[in-house]
Amino acid sequence: MRILAVGDLIGESGLNKAKEIVKELKEKEKIDFIIVNGENVAEGMGITLKHFNNILSIGTDVVTMGNHTWAKKDIFTFINHEQLIRPANYPEGVPGKGYIICKCKDKKIGVINLIGRTEMGILTENPFVIGRKIAEEIKKEVDIIIVDFHAEATAEKVAMGNYLDGIATVVYGTHTHVQTSDDRILPRGTGYLTDIGMTGPKNSVIGMDIEASLKRFVTTLPERYKMAEGECIFNGCIFDINDETCKVDKINRIYL
């Protein structure tokens, strides 16, 4: 089983880059299952139905979200779509679902979306408690468990990887938009990567226009969010999972 996780899509340019790369990559690398983080695809914050359908059109199996889940009101019209999940540790009663179970070939894959609490600026339930509870509940039903942990702090992500080591098949991070090079298989067999990166404007500050971003940092004055333009990068990761053991054999980071 080969699973492709695609880093946060940033705006229309990121979506177009994904359209350009994913279908060809799927055929070339014989990808079986695709997960895309889509929480920044609508002008850098949120997602609309149009963008969601475009992400599905490239062969995506599951779309995950994060701290910008509710940035566009349109989300409430399709939040319960069977291929869309939002962080499972949002407060009880929030629309949508935090995990999904899919069939692929002769396997069942559980995908869990979680959001961190360190420097995220929103109140959520404990991702460690919620994440492990879900993983423990579904592990008898599924062959593979994938966790997209949308978090700011690298320490929180590393801690989550170790906390779910041996329970989840794969734990990877999203949100910081900068791909890390610490891919590894943890002691109990879980494949791990702190952040898979972003798919969006290359010459930017994590997708944002450089001048607008610098004005924020240099002057501390509020500056309207502005998407960067120009050449785009494609970030993601391929996880090779052994069909017999359902453990990760190999991790291949992608930076195009």
Catalytic sites, residue numbers = 68
Query: In degrees to the nearest 10, what's the CA dihedral of 39, 44, 50, 54?
Result: -70
Query: Are the beta carbons of 127 and 116 closer than 8 angstroms?
Result: yes
Cα–Cα distance for residue pair 127/153, rounded to 1 Å: 13
Query: Are the beta carbons of 251 and 239 closer than 8 angstroms?
Result: yes
Query: Are the beta carbons of 18 and 209 closer than 8 angstroms?
Result: no
Find the distance separating the first CA and the last CA of the chain, reported in whole Å. 22
Task: Mention every residue, 6+ apart, whose C-beta is less than 8 A from residue 27.
Answer: none
Q: Which residue is listed with tokens 């919620």?
A: 130
Task: Mention every residue, 6+ apart, whose C-beta is less than 8 A from residue 254.
Answer: 25, 234, 235, 236, 237, 238
Query: Are the beta carbons of 150 and 65 closer than 8 angstroms?
Result: yes
Cα–Cα distance for residue pair 83/88, rounded to 1 Å: 14
